[in-house]
Structure formats: C-alpha cells, structure tokens
C-alpha cells in the first residue's frame, strides 16, 4: 500500500457537560484526526491526547507538531507500508505513543478497507457486542453523585467507576453502595495515593469493589506491589502499562492483578493486542479504558474490547455521554451493551457535514 497523502485535521466537539481534570475544566473536545490517502483508498485515525499535558506528557498541540514534522515524514518516506510495519518505521522517534497510535490506526483502517475486512476480525474479536461501563467524575455533593449514578444505571450501564483521592474516597463509595446495593463498582485514583496510604485503600475492602485503578503514581511498581499485598481489593494498573513489556514486568513483580488497556497509551492497537496476549497468558483480566474519543476512536476501542481477555466492562459509553453531535453516526447502548462495528476497517466513517461544522484546521502533507 503506497501512502500518497496524510491529512492532519483538528476538530472541536462541544461537550454536553464540562470535563474536569487536574489541569482544569474543558467545555469542548479538541481532537486531532489523521486521514491517510493511499493508492488503494483512505483510512482514518484519532489521536487521543488531551488539550493539556495533565494526564500524560502528550497533549494535542505537541502531537500535531510531532506528526507534522517527524512521524508523517517518516511514513511518507517509506512510501509502501503495511500496518505491521508502522511501529518499526516510526521507531526513530522516541516516545509520543498517542501520536503514533493515530497514524497506525489510519494505516490499519486503510489496509482493512481495501481488503474488505473489519478491524474486529483483524484484532481477533470473539464477540459481537461488549458491556458498557461509565466513569463518574467528582460531584459537588454526595446527593449530586447519587443522582448521576442513578441516571446511568437507569440507562442500563453495567458498571460504575468513581474517581477517588485521599480524603474523598470512603464516603462516596459507601453512599453508592448503600443506595444501589451490589451494582458492579470500581474506583480510579489516578495515582493520587502513596505507599504509606495503603490503610486508606484497605478501608475500601468491605465494599466489594471490582478493583482500584492506578492507586499509586505510574512509575511506582514496587509500591503498587506492596499495596496489592496489603489490601483485598484487586489492584488495576492504567498509566503504568505503556507496552506489553511493561505489562509483563508489572505482573512479574505483583503490582497488579487487573490491567486497563488504552491503545493510545501503549502506542497503537497492535501493541494493545500484545498487552492483551501477555495478560491472557497470565490469566489476568483486562478492560478497555476511554479517552473522550469521538466515534472514530470509540469504534477502534470496541473492536479491541471484543477480544477474549476483555472480561470486565470498559469505559465504553454511548456518544451522548459526551457529545451532542459526534463525528460519526452515534453509538447508542442497548441494554447496557454496544455493538462491535463489523464493516470494513473501523466500520465507521466521519459524517461530511459534521466534519465541515466541527473542523478548525487542516494540514495536508505529501511526499
């Protein structure tokens, strides 16, 4: 497949409610899309980097810069490329996994569309639909939190995830358990605890949580292993898992017993499949995390989440959870499940009218 042109397109999707992170509150998703034109057709990818470097060191402006000036030129210089070659071709550039993942997805989409095969088939999916979970951010009050959780359960979501940190953990978990009983429930600490805080995490053990996600900072695998030995709630790693090798190391030292897989964080869908293989061989369950993806990224995540080791509901909510208008046809859960796209490639394409309305800039690169 010969790459003839790469388009970097920025789009701005208003959010139905502000998205609050450590870097502040966002009222829109500033997303970077990659459109690849080849001698056999086109392909699309989405970079999941956020507007600010609060979640990881990557952010959307930097991702566009490295794609424009470093990654895309390498791909164009290779001329003929297959999806399995992308990681090697981009290897001279250190880091930037989210930018690399977007480019790899676009190559996969183009390649599979030309073959008439779905991404789900290519990755090894074994189910036609996946269970949906939802992540609930910090609420202004326990009453507001309970109302929000109740609304999601009424919509059929099959798992609730609460954001927690020291001093704001026991009360929300207790309140949700008391109101909603044995609903599948987990918490996400985003690395806010330290090893010596393990008694705070142990206090959550009586609430029968599915897991506590990323309790310690990403680099502290030994601390995570100490915490995992001291609490009954399973420890899940997210930001710590940057590759299949990192997953193998984390499992070897006992730092976790569950893994969250995000394709952008590990550098692409193919590496995400390798992370899944490591965990599957070790008997460790995995689930698919979310990054405010548009319909393009959501379609890719659904294909990944249909692999056999993804036995826990992921952060795979419907389009209306974040956007009043998505770039693709909206994803709408039915009875708490979303169908895995079965068409060629990603199985979805951007709506031209939505692109026209939401695009803020376009850069076209050629050999």
**Which residues fall within 8 angstroms of residue 367, CB to CB, at 6 or more apart?**
3, 4, 76, 77, 79
CATH 3.30.390.10 spans which residues of the chain?
3-115+348-365
Question: What is the β-pairing status of strands 359-365 and 3-21?
Answer: antiparallel
Tokens of 37: 């034109």
Backbone angles phi, psi at 149, to 5 degrees: -60, -45
pLDDT in tens, 101-115: 999 999 999 999 999
What residues form DSSP beta bridges with 136? Answer: 162
Determine the Cα–Cα distance for residues 236 and 239; give it in Å rounded to an integer. 10
**Which residues fall within 8 angstroms of residue 233, CB to CB, at 6 or more apart?**
201, 204, 205, 209, 211, 212
Contact indicator for 136, 172 with CB cutoff of 8 Å = no
Confidence band, pLDDT 50/70/90 cuts, at residue 22: low
Determine the Cα–Cα distance for residues 139 and 162; give it in Å rounded to an integer. 10
The per-residue pLDDT for 26 is 75
pLDDT at 367 over 60: yes
pLDDT at 168 over 60: yes
Determine if residue 79 is left, alpha or beta; phi over 0 gives left, psi from -120 to 50 gives alpha, anything else beta. Answer: left
pLDDT at 175 over 90: yes
Spell out the SS3 assignment of the chain.
CEEEEEEEEEEEEEEEEEEEECCEEEEEEEEEEEEEEECCEEEEEEECCCCCCCCCCCCHHHHHHHHHHHHHHHHHHHCECCHHHHHHHCCCCCCCHHHHHHHHHHHHHHHHHHHCCEHHHHHCCCCCEEEECEEECCCCCHHHHHHHHHHHHHCCCCCEEEECECCECHHHHHHHHHHHCCCCEEEECCCCCCHHHHHHHHCCHHHCCCCEECCCCCCCHHHHHHHHHHCCCCEEECCCCCCHHHHHHHHHCCCCCEEEECHHHHCCHHHHHHHHHHHHHHCCCEEECCCCCCHHHHHHHHHHHCCCCECCCECCCCHHHCECCCCCCCCCCECCEEECCCCCECCCCCCHHHHHHHEEEEEEECC
pLDDT at 20 over 80: no
Residue with tokens 């990818």: 45
Element (H, E) at 65: helix 60-66
CATH 3.20.20.120 spans which residues of the chain?
121-339
What three-state secondary structure class fits 144? helix
Tell which CATH classification among 3.50.50.60, 2.70.98.40, 2.40.30.40, 3.30.390.10 matches the domain 3-115+348-365: 3.30.390.10
pLDDT in tens, 258-302: 999 999 999 999 999 999 999 999 999 999 999 999 999 999 999
| Per-state percent for the chain, helix, strand, coil, to nearest 5 | 40, 25, 35
pLDDT in tens, 303-331: 999 999 999 999 999 999 999 999 999 99
- Within a 10 A sphere around the Cβ of 352, how many other Cβ atoms? 8
Tell which CATH classification among 3.40.605.10, 3.20.20.120, 3.40.50.720, 3.10.20.30 matches the domain 121-339: 3.20.20.120
User: What residues are annotated to the active site?
Assistant: 163, 262
The per-residue pLDDT for 55 is 85
Q: pLDDT over 90 for what percent of the chain? A: 95
The per-residue pLDDT for 285 is 98
């Amino acid at each position: 497949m010969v790459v003839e042109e790469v388009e970097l397109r920025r789009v701005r999707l208003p959010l139905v409610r502000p998205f609050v992170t450590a870097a502040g509150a966002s009222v829109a998703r500033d997303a970077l899309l990659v459109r690849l034109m080849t001698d056999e057709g086109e392909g699309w990818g989405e970079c999941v980097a956020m507007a600010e470097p609060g979640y990881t060191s990557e952010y959307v402006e930097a991702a566009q810069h490295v794609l424009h000036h470093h990654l895309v030129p390498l791909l164009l210089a290779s001329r003929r490329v297959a999806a399995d070659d992308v990681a090697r071709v981009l290897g001279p550039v250190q880091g930037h996994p989210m930018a690399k993942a977007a480019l790899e997805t676009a190559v996969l989409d183009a390649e599979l569309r030309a073959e008439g095969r779905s991404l789900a088939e290519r990755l090894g999916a074994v189910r036609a639909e996946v269970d949906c979970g939802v992540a609930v951010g910090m609420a202004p009050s326990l009453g507001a939190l309970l109302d929000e959780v109740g609304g999601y359960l009424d919509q059929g979501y099959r798992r609730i995830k609460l954001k927690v940190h020291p001093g704001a953990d026991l009360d929300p978990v207790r309140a949700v358990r008391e109101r909603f009983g044995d609903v599948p429930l987990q918490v996400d600490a985003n690395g806010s605890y330290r090893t010596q805080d393990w008694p705070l995490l142990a206090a959550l053990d009586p609430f029968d949580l599915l897991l506590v996600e990323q309790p310690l900072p990403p680099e502290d695998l030994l601390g995570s292993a100490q915490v995992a030995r001291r609490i009954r709630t399973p420890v899940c790693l997210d930001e710590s898992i940057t590759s299949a090798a990192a997953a193998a190391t984390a499992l070897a030292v006992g730092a976790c017993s569950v893994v969250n897989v995000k394709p952008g964080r590990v550098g692409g869908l193919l590496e995400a499949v390798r992370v899944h293989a490591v965990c599957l061989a070790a008997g460790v369950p995995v689930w698919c995390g979310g990054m405010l993806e548009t319909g393009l990224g959501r379609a890719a995540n659904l294909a990944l989440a249909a692999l056999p080791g993804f036995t826990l509901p992921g952060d795979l909510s419907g389009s209306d959870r974040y956007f009043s208008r998505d770039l693709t046809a909206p994803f709408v859960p039915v009875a708490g499940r979303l169908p895995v796209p079965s068409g060629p490639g990603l199985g979805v394409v951007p709506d031209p009218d939505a692109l026209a309305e939401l695009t803020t800039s376009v850069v076209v690169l050629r050999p």
